[in-house]
Amino acid sequence: MRPDQKDPGKVTVATLLVALGIIYGDIGTSPLYALRAVVGTRAVTEQLVYGGVSCIFWTLVLQTTVKYVWLTLKADNQGEGGIFSLYALVRRYGKKMVIPTILGATTLLADGIITPPFSVASAVEGLNSVKGLEHIIVPGNSLTVGIVIAILSGLFLFQRFGTSAVGRTFGPVMFVWFAMLLVMGVANMMHYPDVLKALNPYYAYDLLAHYPHGFWLLGSVFLCTTGAEALYSDLGHCGIKNIRVTWAFVKTSLVANYAGQAAWILHQGKSTIGDANPFFDMMPHWFLLPGIIIATAATIIASQALISGSFTLINEGINLNFWPRVTVRQPTDVKGQIYIPSVNTILWAGCLLMILYFRSSIHMEAAYGFSITVAMMMTTVLLSVYLLYRRRWHPLAVGIIVLVFASVEVSFFIANAAKIKERWMFLFFELFIFMVMYVWYRARKINNAHVKFTDLGKHIPLITELSEDDDIPRFSTHLVYLTKANSRNQVEEKIVRSIFSKKPKRADVYWFVHVHRTEEPYTMSYDVSELADDKVIKVNINLGFRIQPKTELYFKKIVKELVANKELNLHIRPDGSTRYNSEPDLKFVVIEKFLSVENELALKDGLLLNAYFFLKELGQSDEKAFGLDKSDVVVEHVPLVYQPAQKIELQRLKK
């Protein structure tokens, strides 16, 4: 449960509006393009139109309703969802869970680059249906592209200020949007009620089995469910009950609108729909401009949800060691609302490149869908492990579930794979994200594997002796080391060497602080072990994977609580400065590794570790990542010797 939510499971009008505003932007705007993509420029026939609507309806039933709304939402991690939350639940059951997680996260991030320009362009191009603008707003021309770029640039520029102020309008706007979908769909169905026959699954089978190249139309059908992952990713914002209640309304509106579009297509009097968009053309002309405005607002909200979701995803990736540490800001006082400048810039640049390259939504249809298909397949893999080991479902039941969804998703994957030739350049971006995550995760594993620990207890007598040795200059009153050791009695050997080697660091109190990332999203707790009275203290700070680490702030709070409880005496500085400033003299020591020249690395390991340290240089420093004030930090560098040189043959020359 999020700490700022009293009861996320409570269902009220307000919570239902929040769910509408946050969750359904992507899947809710799919009527703008999904059925149009299925029909395309093909000859209009009942087999094509009924089959397309039937495929869309049953995709919404199987993929969205059954898989996500009913099944995947069960896999909540303390009320939170998303692929990293799911990974945190199943990672203990095998190292192989890493690759599906990285693939899923990669493709979800990739979706954040193509969805905003696709959905916004689809809405803006609706102006082409307004009389007087048909020769001005032409899909793909410079003016249309410029309008889309202006809207997207304004959206990304606005991220640094936070969305709490306008976020309150998202729910009402999306309610108006879905109400419009429902009314427009029903209005067109009333004239041609026979279109409801398309809900019969036979028409879906007939399209895929008998229509020429019908199977490959699944690539377009899949556009109707691309936002299903958001149902799970945004679980923590709304709660299961609110999602399930609102989905009934959303699904009804979507199906009604698709049926209304089908009715219009079959009775518009032409053999093909050409460049027309059934979504806008079936509207009464007097409502066209308001409809376009509402559609544009809905696509902006959908884009905002994807951008915010990308920030959350990267933040979780940082905390689970899947992404380099980068600057994470909280632009407002709203708990959990974050802004990551580097990710915002990457997404903005990617969106602009997408619209400049494809220029129109029709061209983007050919590239859309592949990424989310992969993300859904990876969710199925992780979900099967969760159901099998965490929920302890019968293996036969899990096998049947996996077989059903694997069949559906593999079919979508094959159909979408045909789009690769249209989106080959996009693969470089996905490969880049995948390699960053994989390199960071693998290199961190190698780094951690070479950390050697020692028993702190055997060093306490010498630490105490150093602390009381007046011949050694005092380094600080309170000396704080960040340690990876979970055990209360252990620290890294490099920390002990840092205390005693070269210039010994004399202090009144030695602190060893371990920040433990929990599998729960919003844990904030700590425990204290006093290993030597007022001299050597070990502190474990437990933080959830969605909490931004502010280690110095947390540590100072812990010290104050210990003093207030009379568990710690703050040492008086001998120079008399305590009477002028009662705050303790803190000094944090951060030990950073660098790749030693002693290594003779194999090609693979060399590429991996050099890429890791390159990414480390690009990212945040450790003091910033852990939330330490630079004025209180001393950084020391130690070499990482992974594959030391085996033979050094150095011959001495005799004179």
Query: How many residues can be counted in the chain?
Result: 655
Q: For position 263, what pLDDT does the model report?
A: 94
pLDDT band with cut points at 50, 70 and 90 for residue 574: low
pLDDT above 60: residue 335: no
Q: Is residue 575 over pLDDT 70?
A: no
Q: Band of the pLDDT at 6, cuts 50, 70, 90?
A: very low
Q: Which two tokens stand for residue 537?
A: 């203290």
The predicted model gives 175-203 an average pLDDT of 93
Question: How many CA atoms lie within 13 Å of 306's alpha carbon, on the beta-carbon side?
Answer: 35
φ, ψ of residue 81 in degrees (nearest 5): -130, -175
Residue 363 neighbours by CB distance under 10 Å? 16
CB 503 within 8 A of CB 516: no
pLDDT score recorded for residue 8: 53
**Average pLDDT of the segment spanning 167-185:** 90
Cβ-contact 337, 237 below 8 angstroms: no
Helix, strand, or coil here: 511? Answer: strand
pLDDT digits (tens, 9 = 90+) for 395-440: 999 999 999 999 999 999 999 888 777 777 778 888 889 999 999 9
- Class (C level, CATH) for 13-442: mainly alpha
pLDDT band at 167 (very low <50, low <70, confident <90, very high): low
What average pLDDT does the segment 134-146 reach? Answer: 83
Write down the pLDDT at residue 65.
Answer: 93
Query: pLDDT tens, 195-234?
Result: 999 999 999 999 999 999 999 999 899 989 988 887 888 7
Let me know: does 116 contact 156? Beta carbons within 8 Å.
no
Q: What is the pLDDT of residue 245?
A: 92
Model pLDDT, residue 336: 57
Q: How confident is the model at residue 643 (pLDDT cuts 50, 70, 90)?
A: confident
| Residue 467: per-residue pLDDT | 87
Q: What is the pLDDT of residues 227-276, one digit of tens each?
A: 888 788 877 777 888 889 999 999 999 999 999 999 999 988 888 888 88
Q: How many CB atoms lie within 10 A of CB 586?
A: 22
Q: What mean pLDDT is reported for the chain?
A: 85
pLDDT score, position 532: 83
CB atoms closer than 10 angstroms to residue 344: 17
Out of 15-19, 42-46, 470-474, 547-551, pick the least confident: 547-551
Residue 3 pLDDT: 46
Q: Which tens digits make up the pLDDT trace of 68-92? A: 999 988 888 877 788 888 998 888 8
Is it the case that residue 612 has pLDDT exceeding 70? yes
Alpha-carbon distance of 325 to 307, in angstroms, equals: 19
Answer for the pair 33, 311: CB distance below 8 angstroms, yes or no.
no
25 and 302 Cβ atoms separated by less than 8 Å: yes
Percent of the chain whose pLDDT exceeds 90: 29
**Per-residue DSSP letter, 126:** G
Question: Region 598-603: what's the mean pLDDT?
Answer: 72
| Predicted confidence band of residue 338 (pLDDT cuts 50, 70, 90) | confident
Q: How far apart are CA 465 and CA 469, in angstroms?
A: 6
Mean pLDDT across 435-453: 86
Domain residue ranges of the chain, discontinuous segments joined by +? 13-442, 453-640
Q: How confident is the model at residue 131, as a pLDDT?
A: 78
Residue 66: which pLDDT band, with cuts at 50, 70 and 90? very high
Measured torsion, CA atoms of residues 126, 164, 239, 384, in degrees rounded to the nearest 10: 70
- With 0-12 CB in 10 A as exposed, 13-18 as middle and 19+ as buried, what is 135? exposed
* Of the candidate ranges 386-400, 467-481, 620-634, the one whose mean pLDDT is the lowest: 620-634
For residue 628, is it left (φ>0), alpha (ψ between -120 and 50) or beta? beta
CB 535 within 8 A of CB 463: yes
Helix (H), strand (E) at residue 504: none
Instruction: Give the SS3 label for residue 307.
Output: helix
The pLDDT of 4-27, averaged and rounded, is: 76
Residue 160 in this model has a pLDDT that exceeds 50: yes
Residue 577 has pLDDT above 50, yes or no: no
**How big is the CA angle at 510 (ends 506 and 516), to the nearest 5 degrees?**
145
Can you tell me the mean pLDDT for 620-647?
Answer: 77
What is the per-residue pLDDT for 4?
46
Scored b (16 or more CB within 10 A) or e, 617-631 reads: eebbbbbbbbebeee
Question: What is the rounded CA–CA span in Å between residue 425 and residue 433?
Answer: 14
What confidence score (pLDDT) does residue 608 get? 84
